[in-house]
């Protein structure tokens, strides 16, 4: 059974910016780690913000633990947020943490908002959260500017887990860190998932970060999900040309090499004038596009836990598979 269900979510930021997300559907089970991958501007951050109600959705539904979040407004939405069931962890901890507060006060923020704890109970929960993320509670007296970038991101995670959420929504939580701190944060997320049973939605442009951590992955392009499924299958045998291009650009994830067939995935460069009548958003770049693709939006086809939105998924993936088969 799903803990978090996103059903046909659409968001637009006014008429001039157009649609940022369209028809996004995603489900997260308790304790599951789901990755959402896509390039800058694909709508990843808008997706997590809309899920927690920070950005209003203009179509579709988000249901968390039986509550329809998208139907909540005003006081009811604020009351829902106070429960802390879903916690957002941002990419830039320096900007997301109040520089004037101590680390202990930052970690206590959600607990103070939720209320119901005595001072000593709250202090205990703060120490517990700091230890859980691998920080010495003695750091509680420092301010965000007095700890390292890796420690700051752990403080952000401690703040999120202090309220004992059921889902952590992590927006590129390690991308601003150096390689060593990044790996430590990814290992920490994996440990939190195992020890606390918390579900995680991990947003990233980096397939390598996702490959070792997530159970399932969803690929976002132009505000639409183009493919989703178990991470080993999606990265090992992509069913959408855009996923295949991402995989071909990230050899470190250990997927079977695409060899010469990677060249056939290169974005088309001669399509600036390609007609776009609401068809597949990848059509202007897709080397496998036909005239139909430009006018008819592909429906999401589901089979064996995989979903793909492409008119020609079988045809093009056979082509890539044959070339790859000849090479491996
Ligand atoms: S629907 Fe057409 S344009 Fe879109 S990804 Fe598939 S083949 Fe390419």
Beginning with the edge strand found earlier in the chain, give each strand of the sheet holding 67-68 in spatial order: 19-28, 4-12, 59-64, 67-68
Q: Is 289 in the pocket of ligand 1 (CB under 6 A)?
A: yes
Q: Is 293 in the pocket of ligand 1 (CB under 6 A)?
A: yes
Distance 216 CA to ligand 1 centre (A): 22
**End-to-end Cα separation, the chain, in angstroms:** 39
Alpha-carbon span 207 to 38, nearest angstrom: 9
Q: Which atom of ligand 1 is nearest to the CA of 315?
A: 7
Nearest CA to ligand 1 atom 1: 310
Q: Is 311 in the pocket of ligand 1 (CB under 6 A)?
A: yes
Structural domains in the chain?
1-85+166-175+194-236 (3.40.50.300), 89-164 (no CATH), 237-327 (no CATH)
Question: In sequence order, which residues have a C-beta less than 8 Å from that of residue 227 and are 6 or more positions away?
Answer: 218, 219, 234, 238, 239, 240, 242, 243, 306, 307, 308, 309, 310
Quick: pLDDT tens for 195-238: 999 999 999 999 998 998 999 999 999 999 999 999 999 999 89
pTM for this entry: 0.91
Question: In sequence order, which residues have a C-beta less than 8 Å from that of residue 175 and are 6 or more positions away?
Answer: 91, 182, 204, 205, 206, 209
318 DSSP 8-state letter = H
Q: What confidence score (pLDDT) does residue 95 get?
A: 79
Query: What is the pLDDT averaged over residues 166-174?
Result: 92
Q: What confidence score (pLDDT) does residue 325 get?
A: 45
Q: What confidence score (pLDDT) does residue 328 get?
A: 36
Nearest CA to ligand 1 atom 5: 310
Is residue 318 predicted with pLDDT exceeding 80? Answer: no
Distance 284 CA to ligand 1 centre (A): 9
């Amino acid at each position: 059974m799903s803990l978090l269900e996103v059903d046909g979510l659409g968001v637009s930021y006014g008429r001039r910016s157009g649609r940022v997300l369209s028809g996004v559907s995603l489900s997260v089970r308790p304790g599951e780690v789901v990755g959402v991958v896509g390039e800058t501007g694909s709508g990843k951050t808008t997706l997590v913000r809309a899920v927690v109600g920070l950005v209003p959705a203009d179509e579709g539904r988000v249901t968390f633990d039986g509550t329809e979040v998208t139907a909540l407004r005003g006081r009811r939405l604020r009351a829902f947020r106070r429960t802390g069931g879903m916690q957002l962890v941002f990419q830039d901890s320096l900007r997301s943490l109040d520089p004037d507060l101590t680390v202990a006060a930052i970690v206590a923020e959600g607990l103070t908002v939720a209320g119901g704890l005595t001072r000593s109970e709250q202090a205990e929960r703060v120490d517990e959260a700091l230890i859980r993320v691998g920080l010495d509670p003695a750091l509680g007296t420092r301010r965000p500017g007095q700890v390292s970038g890796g420690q700051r991101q752990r403080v952000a995670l401690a703040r999120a887990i202090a309220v004992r959420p059921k889902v952590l929504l992590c927006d590129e939580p390690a991308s601003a860190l150096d390689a060593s701190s990044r790996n430590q944060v990814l290992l920490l997320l994996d440990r939190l998932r195992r020890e606390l049973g918390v579900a995680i939605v991990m947003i990233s442009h980096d397939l390598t970060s996702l490959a070792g951590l997530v159970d399932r992955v969803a690929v976002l392009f132009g505000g639409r999900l183009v493919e989703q499924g178990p991470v080993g299958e999606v990265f090992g045998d992509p069913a959408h040309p855009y996923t295949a291009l991402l995989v071909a650009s990230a050899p470190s994830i250990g997927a079977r090499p695409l060899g010469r067939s990677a060249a056939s995935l290169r974005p088309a460069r001669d399509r600036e004038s390609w007609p776009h009548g609401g068809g597949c958003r990848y059509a202007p770049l897709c080397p496998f596009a036909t005239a139909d693709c430009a006018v008819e939006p592909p429906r999401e086809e589901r089979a064996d836990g995989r979903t793909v939105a492409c008119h020609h998924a079988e045809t093009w993936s056979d082509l890539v598979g044959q070339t790859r088969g000849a090479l491996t």
